[in-house]
Structures are given as C-alpha cells and as structure tokens.
Chain A
Amino acid sequence: MAPRNVSRQRNILDYALGSLWRNRFKNTGVFLVFSLVIFIIASFRLITGSLEHAAEQLLTAVPDITIQKLTAGRQDVILLKELSELKKIFGISEIKPRIWGYYFDELSGANYTVIGDAAFDDHRQLPGISVAYRADDDMDPGVSRAVIGQSVHDSKNLAGRHSFSLFRPDLSLKSFYVTGTFAETTALVTADLIVTGLNDASDLFGMREGEMTDLLVSVRNPAEIETIAKKISERITGSRVITKRQIRKTYRAAFGWRSGFGLVCLLGSVGAFIILAWDKASGLSEEQKREVGILKAVGWLTADVMSVRFWESVVISFLAFSIGYTMAWAHVLFFDGLLFKPILLGWSVLTPPLSLVPVFRLADLMLIFSISVLPYLAATVIPAWRSALVRPDSIV
C-alpha cells in the first residue's frame, strides 16, 4: 500500500511539474519575486545574526564594570581620586582609569574614537597589530605615539607617512607618530581607533590632570558583579555604572517595531507578495477550469486535483526558499551584505571592512520559513480547493 501511495504521489508530482512548466511565464514571475523577498529577509536576518554572533563571541572580554559620571544629565569627567572610594569595596581585583573620547575630523568628516590607555604609557605591546613602524625603545620619549585602526590610516591618507596631527580644543596642533596599525582582520573592533597614552589623550582633549572619562573595574567573582555595581553607584554620587551584562544584551534581536523597523518594512513586502500569490491562485482561467474538468471526468478525485495544486505550491515555495536563502548566504559571506551595508554604515565617513560571517541558526531558518513559505502555502490552499471543485460534467 505504502509503495503505491508513494508512486501515486510521484505521478501527481510529475503532473504538477508539467503543469508548472506549461504555465512557466506566470510561475517564473511568482518564483522570482518570492526568491527575491526571501533573499532580502534572509540577508537582513543573516547580517543581524552575524553581528549578534560576533558580539556574543567578542564581547565576552568587555570590562566587568564601567563607571562614568553624569552631571546635569550629561557625561562628565571622573576624578582619579574617586579611586580611593572604590578600593574600599571588597571583591574588586583591578581598577583601570581610561580616557575615551571622540575626535571629529572636519576635513574628512570622520569620527575617530580616541582611547587613552594607561598601559600604553608603560610601553606594553598592544595585541593585533599588523604593522609596526618603529621599535618603541628607539623612540624619543617626548614624541606622542599612537596605534591606529585601518580606517583611520586610510582616512588620513597616511600611505608612506607615519605621523599625523589633531587639533586640541585651543586649536593648537598635537602630532602623533604612528607606531603601529591594527590588522585589518581586527577591524570589527579597531577600525576607527586611535590608541595613545593616557597623558597624550588628556593633552589632546584639554583635560586637567587627574580627570578621566571612565574607570574600568574587574571583579574577582563574576557572580558578584551586580552587587558590586550597586555599591559603586552608592559610593560615587552621580555615577553611571554599566555592567558586562548590560553591554552584552545590546546586540540581540531587533524585532520591536522601533528597533526592527527594517524588518517590519520587509514583512510588508511579504504581505504584498502573499496577496499577489492569493490573487494568482484564485484567478482560474477558462483553460485551467477545463483542465480540472477533464481530470475529474477521466477519474481524478478532488483530492488528487488538490494534490496537484499542493505540489505546485510546495515546489515553487521550497525552491524559492532554498535559492533565496542560498543567495542571501552568498551575499553576506562573499559581498559583506552589500545590500544592507549602506544602511548599517549610515552617514559614516569611515567605512570599516565589516567582514561578516553568516551564522547558521535553526531558529532564524524557521523564522524566515514561517513568515514566507507557510503564508504562501496558506494563501494558495483555499484557491486550490476551490479550483478542485470544478465539476466533471462542466466540460460536457
């Protein structure tokens, strides 16, 4: 019985494929649009998924606690002397002062992230540098040194040069000697960075001695992070305490109406496509009605005719899904999500090489499947049933 049923379904599948081929112009149009819709949605989801995954993998190393200061609702400097209050809290293993600021280069319109690192002054080698121009020990101690990201290097058109200048707030120039460039493979976190010593950063921004933008706190027992964060906020008035957990939840799913605005627009296109599918499936031509009448007249049951329509829908939707998803994968893997890259970069002048690596997640696949293939099948079920009701005597 089972082999007979399989043979029956295969016969009907053959007929359905022939039927699709006989109406190939109409069906090709539906197939292409469907593939395109799935390609766009899948690309969107693979890009956001790859960023989520990259963040999950990389941001395991973010500081346990970051402390900033707010005055009148705006970020303000933290004084180094606040450290003494923090050292009283049990459980803290290390506190690092940091200057973290932004430099807007008016000439190019680029925003650089400037980081003043205490260990930089101690000549501790930074990881991930691909090009080092001069051994640190040979440098004149009076010269300001910096390690820059690849996009900064390109934006400054450094080419063969090894130095550049930035303006202090009083419009005097501060020169930096580039002692290294971060490898392009680390661009996902370093592209726009200018890393220099704490003193040089302070000098660049015209900050006073002992002023920092944040303090980075390491905790001995990760389970105590929240507790210690609470204690810090109590001890330092006006402080803004950000924990590792809060940082890491930023890059998750963008599905609220605000955050998923792009996806909401795409869902609109899916909706439009489903309406198209319904319309196409509903509009039985005289020829199609006649064909169903002939099938019924020669002994096909309503269920057999419905099977034909079912297979037609399944073939179109599954093939479109496979091809759309495969092309989306290639789009992200080989072309860095070219379609969505401009949206991601927005009005940025610096264009870091994103090097997105798509991640296969079953949940994403099922989500895309359920918002594309399932509605398509549902939209064609009722028209298929109605078309299968054509009576055999209608041709007599």
Chain B
Amino acid sequence: MITLDSVDKWYNRAAANAVHALKDVSLQVSDNEVVCIQGPSGSGKSTLLSIIGCLFVPTSGLATINGKLLSRLPDRFLTLYRRETIGFIFQRFHLVPGLTVMANITLPLLPLGISVPERQQRAQLLMEKLSIAHRKNFDISNISGGELQRTAIARALINNPPIIIADEPTAHLDQQLSNDVMTIIAELKADGKTIVIASHDSLVSDHAIVDRCLLIRDGRLHGSKN
C-alpha cells in the first residue's frame, strides 16, 4: 500500500525561481492496483512519481509504503529502500550508452555483490520473457526503440521489486509497440505487482488493466477519471 498524505513539494523554495510542484496531494494505491496519473506537461506528474518512487522526499507531508515512513528518510536509506522495492521505468529509458543490453539490465545488481553467473541468469530469464534475448550482447545504440523500452523494463524488474513506476512508458513508441508495453504491464499486474503509471496517452489511461485514473493539474490531484 502506497500512501501520500498532504504532500507538498517545492523546488528552490528560498530562491526567486521557486516552484511549488505539488500542492497538498493525498492518495492511496492498494497492493496489486494499477493506477494511471494523467495531466498536461508541467502539472507535477514526474514529481509525484519521483516521490512515490523514492527518488526524493516531499518538502512536507507524509509518504509511506507498506507502513514504512519514507518522507523523512536520509538519501542513503531511501536509496537502499528504493533498490529493493521500486522498479522505475523512465520516460527516456535512461540506459547507459556504450553498455550492452545485458550490462544495462544487470546494472542495479552490481553494487549488491551478486556474482556474474547469477546476474546473467536473472537477466536471461527477463530477456526471454520480454523477447530481447537475441539482443543481449548488442550495444544499446544498435537496437530499436521498442527494444530499448523493453531493456528499460527488464532493468526495472531485475531485482523483482513489488512496485513498478512507469513515467510515460509509451511516449516514444508507435501504436503497435505501445500495445506491446501495455501487454507487458498486464503481465506484471498478473504477477502481483503494484503499478503506478504517469501518462497523457489515452491508450494507457483507457486500457482495461488500469484500475483507476487520477487527474493532476497545477500540482493538485483532481479526483479519478473512472
């Protein structure tokens, strides 16, 4: 269960260019729920996702995941928690150039001291599931957009996290590939994952697997769409 209670987020609060990105946001996401957050550009979607995804803490308010209070955790502990609990799929994939598909997927496992054979085994299973096993030794600059997205998904899943955060997962994909991504997300839901997606794509927000769709505008949540 993910709970946000009266969460505010300011950037550069004391400076002239202060931005009040989130204003008094409260929401709950139950286990195994798929929630879509819709809103225009600059509405605060990415900030909301970053707080849920433990990339940073809110300026005020409470954020808890499964009863663990995260909003006051120092960076180090936040990272350790994020490592085990969150799989983040970024809007622009954010894969490391110059590394292969396999190396990118196993990146989160390196600082855990996991051995090469185990890393490769875990990555192989995911690559086969996502149909990119034939690209495992390819540099990511030599694969297609759809394969990049699936590589990013595989990386997010490598630690088998219970919560998946996806920021605009279909943003750079065509219709067919977007459908493929939603199929993958449906499989993740079937596996028992809790999924929070930010998207302004109706293909995502209107998809059958989405349990709830929340609207966000100017940093405020405006209730659900369905």
Contacts and interface: CB of A to CB of B under 8 A. Distances in A.
Interface of A: 4-8, 11-12, 14-15, 18, 22, 287, 290-291, 293-302, 304, 391-393, 395-396
Contacts of B94: 290, 293-294, 297, 395
Contact of A304 (B96, B98, B111): B111
28 contacts: A7-B113, A7-B114, A8-B113, A11-B109, A11-B110, A11-B111, A11-B113, A11-B114, A12-B110, A18-B103, A291-B96, A294-B94, A294-B96, A295-B107, A297-B88, A298-B88, A298-B108, A298-B155, A299-B111, A300-B108, A300-B111, A301-B76, A301-B80, A393-B56, A395-B94, A396-B49, A396-B55, A396-B167
Contacts of B107: 294-295, 298
Given A18-B99, A18-B103, A396-B55, 15 more contacts: A8-B111, A11-B114, A14-B110, A294-B94, A294-B96, A297-B88, A298-B155, A299-B83, A299-B111, A301-B76, A395-B94, A396-B46, A396-B50, A396-B90, A396-B167
Contacts of A22: 98
A302 B76 contact: yes
Interface of B: 46, 49-50, 55-56, 75-76, 79-80, 82-83, 88, 90-92, 94-99, 103, 107-115, 155, 159, 167
A338 to B, nearest CB: 41
B12 to A, nearest CB: 13
Given A8-B112, A18-B103, A301-B111, A296 B79 contact: yes
A156 B181 CA distance: 91
B56 A391 contact: yes
A14 B76 CA distance: 23
Contacts of A304: 110-111
Contacts of B82: 299
A298 B79 CA distance: 9
A304 B83 CA distance: 13
Nearest to A395: B94
B105 to A, nearest CB: 10
A184 B173 CA distance: 80
A393 B111 contact: no
Contacts of B83: 299
B165 to A, nearest CB: 10
Nearest to A4: B113
A290 B91 CA distance: 14
Contacts of B49: 396
A39 B186 CA distance: 62
A15 B109 CA distance: 12
Contacts of B115: 7
Nearest to A14: B110
A295 to B, nearest CB: 7
Nearest to B161: A299
A292 B118 CA distance: 25
A205 to B, nearest CB: 76
A304 B111 CA distance: 7
A304 B113 CA distance: 11
Nearest to A11: B110
Nearest to B85: A299
A12 B88 contact: no
A32 B163 CA distance: 48
A396 B50 CA distance: 8
A209 B219 CA distance: 112
Nearest to A303: B76
A11 to B, nearest CB: 4
B75 A302 contact: yes
